Structure 1
Amino acid sequence: MRDEPWDILHLDIADGLAEVAQRERGVLLVLWWRTLPLGTKALLPAETPLAGDQLLALAAQLVADQAAARGAGLASPPRAGVDGQARSALTLDEAAALPVLDALEAAAAPAAADARPLSVVVCTRRRPDMLSACLASLARQASAPGQVVVVDNDPAASARPVAYGRAGVTYVHEPRPGLSIARNAGLDAADGEFIAFTDDDVELHPTWTAEIRRAFSRPEVDAVTGLVLPARLETAAQRAFELHLGGFTSRFTPLLFDGGFLQETWEMGPQVWRIGAGANMAFRRASLAGLGGFDERLGAGASGCSEDSEFWYRILAAGGRCLYEPRAVVFHHHRRDWRGLRQQYRAYMKGHVAALVVQADRYGAPGDLRRIRRQLPVYFARTGLSAIQTLDGWRLRLLMEEVIGWGLGLQYLLRPRWRRRAQAAVGPRPAVQLGAPQHA
């Protein structure tokens, strides 16, 4: 993969479509309707210039998808199916009859929700420059949150000079390593009715806090996740993660995840990671505290990752709902080099296996252990065959890290003390009988 920087070009098509000029390097187009993200399109230099009618053809499908997902007459966002994609909410005739532009304008209208009941928790470890940029983006929010909590997970307290003394910022030093430990420390220090979490390598769209609050205007929603766009595509590793591996989230229409999502995937292993990304998530405080906070056996600094998806699993199992709302946008600084990306993928797989063990122990879902023993090896084989056929050496190297992470994760099956570890944090048993029919 050639190591030539790509540009990111944000285009607002609400006031007309202009052509994309000839580019000397690749470009990721991000199309918007005012503050509503519509979709992305990666273009090689040879695919430019892009005429206005070509851009219109691209935008038309994205606009239609938005109108169908947010159209008048829908009582709630479409429900997520087994694959984490929207179940059909409207018939073709109904979608064709929608006033598309009206639906877009309504969806893109500025959120009027007051963000003061929101506490934002930023966990950080030894990245003061990134933390400074993150806090600067929080200071530019159209609706200021009631509180910003910075949790410094560095024993040397390297974030103190960045965070201490900033208006509206509560600084917490938590020297015990582990992202779940840091997030729970942030929860303890937060006083808002709603708690949002983001990371120090993220910068926030100016409407982010207002959109998080708007999403919670639906009383049935216990957790919210949002869209994660790349902040830069300057290196081959960043482009591989975003353009070839799918990045963090690539959906631009809302989705509602409920207990039915768990039931439908009970035998195959619920794919709760499809709900969103921990860099852009929020909770009702009552739901987060009521289920005990994050499991400190999981996450960066412990088993690797998946403390966020494991908590979403608990919410759904307890009868709650998670809303993916891409109007809440953040920009993530992906790993710049291959070494960092390989470490990330090893940690992801190790943490994923650990979370599957935790979920199987807690709820007895047969699909969780089946995914470890059967589905993941099949995934490795298929991915490896595809990478060999396409001569993608970089993908084979990442796959090797995933296999190593899987092997490291298997240790948790053989650690009864770790599996039995009591944590006040595990929360109640499911409010519904999972695996049995659930009625509305």
Structure 2
Amino acid sequence: MSSPDLAIDVSVVVATFNRAAMLRETLRSLVELETDGAFAYEVLVVDNASSDNTPQAITEFAAVDRRGSAVRVRGVREPSPGVSHARNRGVGEAAGDWVAFHDDDQVADPRWLAELVALAKRRSALVVGGAVKLKLPAGAKEPSARYLRQMLGEKVGMPAEQPFNRRQIPGAGSLMIDRGVFDHVGLFDTDLEIGGEDADLYRRIRAAGYEAWYTPKAIVHHLIPAKRLDSDYMRWTAARHGQHVALREFLDWGPRKLPLVMAARLGQATINYLPRYLAARLTGDRDGALAARCLMLRSQSYLAKAWRLLLHGEGQQGAADAALSLREGRERLVGGQAPEAETPPRLVATGPQE
């Protein structure tokens, strides 16, 4: 917690695991944030039991001559594995009245936090989020299909300031919440190992009556290593999406209405995604074919998870859930097992946004 002589308005929480190289890029951007003299912020890194040199990276930026515009940079270690455990530890340790979340594989635009603070004041909102754009390896081609970019983390289809809604939801990579909201709706669900913990939190925020606002001016850039552009990674991500969407809709609609939603999802896959896949294959549109295939896989994963939820409820985790564990999947598919393996790409700006 904060010392009595420190006045901190916003705590920027960064949960990290075995990404020391990327973390340095992240911290370099976070200590260069503009504040317009309107607020003071700290950077709080939650090391989720990393085995690389993450502690050294935190120590480097905690030095007085490296912390830049931040009041301080500090780290805590959270031994329980999983991003929800790490983010919840961050909320508990945060000194600010506001908690902003930023991922360890992103770099923030200098105006990122100032724009979130301004949006919260302008809209009298207790939950605000911003834009995510992609930073690809030098020479890599930006995926042309919208869904592929969404799976890589880009926020698409939101060109103007607007409230979030059931379809357009905030992600925890660019999100700021008044800490009192957590007292009302609870923290991140630590049982959601396949991901979707931010969507679940927003579901509870929305159900509690809070209006969350988005601004395209608060920008973070998601660093995309080359391995994340592989089709295997895309398919794994699509399957994860299907599972956590199924859980969210089970909690939203309940077991009586969920079969109707399942039928609509099946119809969508049959009438929309399958023809799109066949058309893309015929025209040689590789991105379009991969996107449609991933959408069909998402539907398949959704239906399988929804069926298990109807039979067993939300408490039972099956083998398919374990296979889609966010932490274990990243280790296997992106190469996080070796220290420093997920190094940041040499950055180039992506092309025009849709």
Global fold match (TM > 0.5)? yes
The one of 16, 27, 41 aligned to 1:146: 41
Structure 1 residue identity aligned to 2:312: R
Aligned equivalent of 1:296: 190
Structure 1 residue identity aligned to 2:27: L
Aligned equivalent of 2:220: 330
Say if 1:275 and 1:324, in contact at 8 Å, map to a contact too.
no
Structure 1 residue identity aligned to 2:112: W
C-alpha spacing 1:117/1:165, structure 2 compared with 1 (3 Å): same
Work out the CA distance in 1 between the residues paired with 2:294 and 2:249.
Answer: 21
Work out the CA distance in 2 between the residues paired with 1:211 and 1:309.
Answer: 22
Work out the CA distance in 2 between the residues paired with 1:125 and 1:238.
Answer: 27
Work out the CA distance in 1 between the residues paired with 2:126 and 2:89.
Answer: 20
3-state secondary structure, aligned to 1:282:
strand
Say if 1:128 and 1:158, in contact at 8 Å, map to a contact too.
yes
Say if 2:273 and 2:293, in contact at 8 Å, map to a contact too.
no
The one of 155, 158, 175 aligned to 1:249: 155
Aligned equivalent of 1:414: 311
1:345, distance to aligned residue in structure 2 (A): 1.7
3-state secondary structure, aligned to 1:275:
coil
Matched, 1:285 2:175: no
Work out the CA distance in 1 between the residues paired with 2:125 and 2:9.
Answer: 16
Aligned equivalent of 1:136: 28
The one of 174, 196, 221 aligned to 1:306: 196
Aligned equivalent of 1:199: 103
The one of 374, 381, 385 aligned to 2:263: 374
Aligned equivalent of 2:132: 228
List alignment gaps of at least 5 residues for structure 2: 1-6, 63-71, 317-354
Per mean C-alpha deviation after superposition, the further-off stretch among 196-205 and 306-315 is: 306-315
Residue correspondence of structure 1 range 335-346 to structure 2 within 5 A:
335-346=228-239
Aligned equivalent of 1:358: 251
Structure 1 residue identity aligned to 2:30: L
The one of 144, 152, 159 aligned to 2:54: 159
Aligned equivalent of 2:301: 405
Say if 1:230 and 1:242, in contact at 8 Å, map to a contact too.
no
1:128, distance to aligned residue in structure 2 (A): 1.4
Aligned equivalent of 2:341: none
Say if 1:349 and 1:406, in contact at 8 Å, map to a contact too.
yes
Aligned equivalent of 1:57: none
C-alpha spacing 1:395/1:242, structure 2 compared with 1 (3 Å): closer
Say if 2:243 and 2:302, in contact at 8 Å, map to a contact too.
yes
3-state secondary structure, aligned to 1:166:
helix
Work out the CA distance in 1 between the residues paired with 2:45 and 2:293.
Answer: 35
More helix by share: 2
Per-residue CA shift, 1:79-105, capped at 9, x if unaligned?
xxxxxxxxxxxxxxxxxxxxxxxxxxx
Please list every run of at least 4 consecutive aligned residues from structure 1 whose deviation after the TM superposition is greater than 4 angstroms.
233-238, 240-247
1:356, distance to aligned residue in structure 2 (A): 2.1
3-state secondary structure, aligned to 2:14:
strand
C-alpha spacing 1:343/1:293, structure 2 compared with 1 (3 Å): same
Work out the CA distance in 2 between the residues paired with 1:166 and 1:352.
Answer: 37
Work out the CA distance in 2 between the residues paired with 1:408 and 1:157.
Answer: 37
Structure with greater Cα Rg? 1
Work out the CA distance in 1 between the residues paired with 2:201 and 2:144.
Answer: 28
Structure 2 residue identity aligned to 1:284: D
Per-residue CA shift, 1:13-70, capped at 9, x if unaligned?
xxxxxxxxxxxxxxxxxxxxxxxxxxxxxxxxxxxxxxxxxxxxxxxxxxxxxxxxxx
RMSD: 2.9
C-alpha spacing 1:306/1:238, structure 2 compared with 1 (3 Å): farther
C-alpha spacing 1:179/1:358, structure 2 compared with 1 (3 Å): farther
Work out the CA distance in 2 between the residues paired with 1:408 and 1:398.
Answer: 15
1:293, distance to aligned residue in structure 2 (A): 1.1
1:390, distance to aligned residue in structure 2 (A): 2.0
Say if 1:255 and 1:325, in contact at 8 Å, map to a contact too.
yes
1:154, distance to aligned residue in structure 2 (A): 3.5
- Give the fraction of aligned pairs with identical amino acids, expressed as a percent: 26
Say if 1:225 and 1:280, in contact at 8 Å, map to a contact too.
yes
Work out the CA distance in 1 between the residues paired with 2:209 and 2:80.
Answer: 32
- What number of residue pairs does the alignment pair up? 285
C-alpha spacing 1:327/1:116, structure 2 compared with 1 (3 Å): farther
| TM-score, length-scaled by structure 1 | 0.58
Structure 1 residue identity aligned to 2:301: G
Work out the CA distance in 2 between the residues paired with 1:241 and 1:177.
Answer: 33
1:253, distance to aligned residue in structure 2 (A): 0.6
Per-residue CA shift, 1:135-168, capped at 9, x if unaligned?
1100111128521111122453652221135322
Work out the CA distance in 1 between the residues paired with 2:93 and 2:256.
Answer: 34
List alignment gaps of at least 5 residues for structure 1: 1-114, 262-269, 420-440
Work out the CA distance in 2 between the residues paired with 1:417 and 1:208.
Answer: 36
Matched, 1:171 2:62: no
1:415, distance to aligned residue in structure 2 (A): 3.0
Matched, 1:181 2:85: yes
Work out the CA distance in 2 between the residues paired with 1:238 and 1:343.
Answer: 19
